[in-house]
Structure 1
Amino acid sequence: IGTLTNNSGGVQGGISNGEAIHFRVAFKPPATISLPQETIDFSGKPVTLTAKGRHDPCVVPRAVPIVESMAALVLVDMVLRQEARKAVQFKED
């Protein structure tokens, strides 16, 4: 038994609806570009900008473990919150 579609990604109102949990991730592009860039300064003179220091041309190798870790943390947080609610209910009874 299940829903016809899983448009909510498996979570409705912060509660799992029993379907597979799906989510999307977006990353901003790296702030530095390794190629020299032509621009102008405040007085209108042409200037070439070059990246200095350490910069990452691609964040994908680091992105995968970060997304996996954050997804695991969020799921464990949801489980712990549910267990805390159960404990409070049990204490009140």
Structure 2
Amino acid sequence: MPNIKSAVKRVKTISTRTLRNAAAKSALRTSIKKYELALASNDANAPALLKAACRSLDKAVTKGLLHKNTAARKKSRLTKKLNKTA
């Protein structure tokens, strides 16, 4: 633990942000996984879940969790999977 007051505050801030980022990344992975499971089981709800997954990816970019090109690549691949099954 640091001795300097500002460093102590940084440690607390970083731990809070780490928890928030972990929760957001987990939610992102969950939305993608739900979509992929629906796609695998030929669920009619897959297009709606794709939309939700893309929205989650866009939010992750806004929050700084993912780079915009990474999100674009993931959205492209998810859409490609849907088009391949249709």
Give the TM-score of the pair, scaled to structure 2. 0.38
Structure ranking higher in strand proportion: 1
Higher RCO structure (Cα 8 Å, ≥6 apart):
2
- Specify the structure having the higher radius of gyration (Cα): 1
